[in-house]
Amino acid sequence: MTLCVKLSDITITKVQYCRYLGIFLDDTLIWSHHINTVYSKLIKYVGIFYKIRRKLLLSILRNIYFAFVYPHILYGIEIIC
């Protein structure tokens, strides 16, 4: 059985995922696409931190982490968990 949803004579099609306020919502709410998107953003920073880990002070590394990595992890955590 196919469900057809219309709003003002416009048919709304079913999609696998959509982006709403920066969070990818899956049609099954398993968050796999959102997790993969955040992972691909954060994996870039692993190499950067690896290269600069002995060249900067720990306090500076911590500031860089909280400036570039932490917001990606924190954003939308209430919805996902």
In the chain, where are the structural domains located? 16-80
* Sign of the CA dihedral running 42, 47, 48, 52: positive
pLDDT at 23 over 80: yes
Contact 34, 24 (CB under 8 A): yes
CA–centroid distance for 63 within its chain:
21
pLDDT at 6 over 80: yes
Q: What is the pLDDT at residue 27? A: 85
pLDDT band at 80 (very low <50, low <70, confident <90, very high): low
